[in-house]
Structures are given as structure tokens and as C-alpha cells.
Amino acid sequence: MLDLKQDYFALFGLPTGFAIDMDRLEQAYLDIQGRVHPDRFAHLSDADKRLSMQWATHANEAFRTLKSPLTRGQYLLELQGVDPAFETNTAMSSDFLMEQMEWREALGEAREAADEEVLEDLSRRIRHANRTLIEQLGEELDQKGDLRAAADTVRRLKFLEKLQHEINDALTALES
């Protein structure tokens, strides 16, 4: 049925690369889920049911990974043997570090002041920076093949994702 060892791009019949056709990804995912969904195997042996569950889980993980630009970039790096080293490599440009500090300070002040407008503005700025980094990551991976720069960009995206979650949490807390 499915090969659990094939990479996620091959699983969905997509070319390996950062730029992917999201509609094609979703359709391929739905097709696979239709073939391997555990409900289709309910009348079979326990071994077949377990295998069905493994296939469905693998397809779910693959879909989640390729759907997100951050995890897709990280996965492409891993396929090339590159570890973005989120925990150990914190070296970033001084400009990005300064911007990080400013964002963190702005978040702290807005949270303390319960200022929804500032939090919303910060969220917009983070989303804009995120879109810019996603475009940059695509160029680094697909056009330039610069894995070192791509790993740095993935680390930056990871930081922005975390910051966006903190902003969302602060906005949710204000709504309560």
C-alpha cells in the first residue's frame, strides 16, 4: 500500500523543494487518507488495523510537516543532513538580535499595560517579518541551495513563531 520509509514529498507525489502546490498537497493527502483510514480496515485483523493506523499517522505527520513553511524548511534541511540546531546554535546577526530584543521589550510593556492595540500592531509586524523570511527561505533552498543560510532562516522563523504564540497568548488573556 504505502511505503513508510519514503520521504514526505514522494509520499504525496510532489517534487522535493520548498515551493509546493498546496492544493496538490491537500488533494494527495485526502486521497491517501481515503485509502488508509482505519475505518476502512475495521473488519480486518488486528495486525491490518495497526498497519492502517501507522499509515494514517505517517500521512498525518507528513501533511503537517509539508503544510507549514517552518517545518517544511526544517524537513528539507534534515533530508540534506543539516540540523538547524535550535537549542545549540543561537548565533544570529546583531540586527536580528536587536530586533528580537525590541520585540520582546514591546511585548512585555504591552502585556504589562494590557494594551491590545500595541499587541495587535506587534502581531502584524511579526507576521510581516515571517512572510519575508519565508520568501527568503524559499530562495535559499530552491534557487541558491544555501543550506547554511537556510538553517539560519529556519532558526529565525522558529523564534518568530514562538513570539507570535506569546503575543496570541497575551491577546487571549486580555479577552478573558
pLDDT value of residue 10: 95
State whether 99 and 159 are in the same domain: yes
Is 3 among the domain residues?
A: no
Q: What is the pLDDT of residues 23-69, one digit of tens each?
A: 999 999 999 998 887 777 777 788 878 888 888 899 999 999 999 99
* DSSP helix/strand/coil, 105: helix
Q: What is the pLDDT of residues 90-118, one digit of tens each?
A: 667 788 889 889 999 999 999 999 999 99
Is 100 among the domain residues?
A: yes
Is 38 among the domain residues?
A: yes
State whether 61 and 115 are in the same domain: no
pLDDT at 120 over 80: yes
For the record, the C-alpha cell of 21 comes out as: 502546490
- Domain tally, the chain: 2
State whether 167 and 100 are in the same domain: yes
What is the CB-side half-sphere exposure of residue 85 using CA atoms within 13 A? 12
- Determine the structural domain holding residue 149 and report its residue range: 94-175
